[in-house]
Amino acid sequence: MTLDYDAIMNYAFPDFRRDYSKKDTMLYALGLGLGSDPMDEDQLKFVYEKNLQAMPTMPVILGFDEVPLSGVPELRSIDFTMLVHGEEYLTIHNPLPVEGTTLCRTRILDILDKGADKGAIVYREKEILNAADDTILATTLDSIFLRGNGGFGGEPGPAPAPPVHKPPDTEPEVTWDRPTLPQAALIYRLSGDYNPLHAEPAFAAAAKWERPILHGLCSFGIAGQAVIKHFCDYDPGGLKALQVRFSAPFFPGETLRTEMWRDGDVVSFRARAVERDVVVINNGRADI
């Protein structure tokens, strides 16, 4: 089916509220692998109720769609079996409370047509607000690569997103390895992303992957942890913005190595699957 550009662009995403508890805040951090060293109190404060703090990347999951988009009639022309998360941009405006209620407002910015053999790219923007007082907590912008929907007759660009960040062409100044559990995706999905791509072997095979892959937003959060660990002394308030491009799938059970360079208040980074020596996150930029 040809992508219905007008129907998707005119779809009014309903605002949705998300109640979350301290337990949810701890579960999100556990899904990123925090708490792997029970003697590390810098990690403990994200997974234990005493002096609990929220990971600064958590707004991306609080803004995750409550209703599966595959069930929305206006979006039925999208081939959801061929959908891949392309890029993620997070801007943090205010600290996230450890519990509360958020309001998410979503809009489509544009859909670019890269050609029948390359696919299409949807750009979405979300505002995550504190429902108690309408304070903006964070803004996210993502690009969704629709591998099965190119050639619908749309424009190829320009993209309604910040420029792609270029890491230095030198050896990284800091590297950090985070081993992941084989069941990492099954833990992370409990924070709200129940896409079967991350759980069902048959669904993953239909999407042309050899086995279920880890959520891109999970590896995004792990890279965010690497930045706040090495450059913010594990102070979640030290991270102001994070952007990445997802360049390859990452499989649960692999080791994610984040490679970083600092230039003033900007940290450039990329991340690779150590066992396969494949870069899975590229063009990373963190503002601290």
Provide the CB-side half-sphere exposure for 102 (13 A, CA).
30
User: CATH code at 184?
Assistant: 3.10.129.10
The structure tokens 């964070």 sit at: 138
Query: Region 130-157: what's the mean pLDDT?
Result: 94
- Whether 262 has a pLDDT exceeding 70, the answer reads yes
Mean pLDDT of the chain: 94
State the catalytic residues. 193, 198, 213, 216
Report which secondary-structure segment, H or E, holds 187. helix 184-188
- Whether 147 has a pLDDT exceeding 90, the answer reads no
How do residues 6-46 score in pLDDT, each as one tens digit?
999 999 999 999 999 999 999 999 999 999 998 999 999 99
- Whether 1 has a pLDDT exceeding 70, the answer reads no
pTM: 0.93
Specify the number of domains making up the chain: 1
* Predicted pLDDT at 67: 61
On the 0-12 / 13-18 / 19+ scale of CB atoms within 10 A, 218 is buried
State the residue range of the domain holding 28: 5-287
Query: CA-CA distance, 55 to 52, in Å (whole number)?
Result: 10
Bridge-partner residues for 111, per DSSP? 122
Query: CA-CA distance, 112 to 14, in Å (whole number)?
Result: 23
Residue 35's region, left for phi above 0, alpha for psi from -120 to 50, else beta, is left
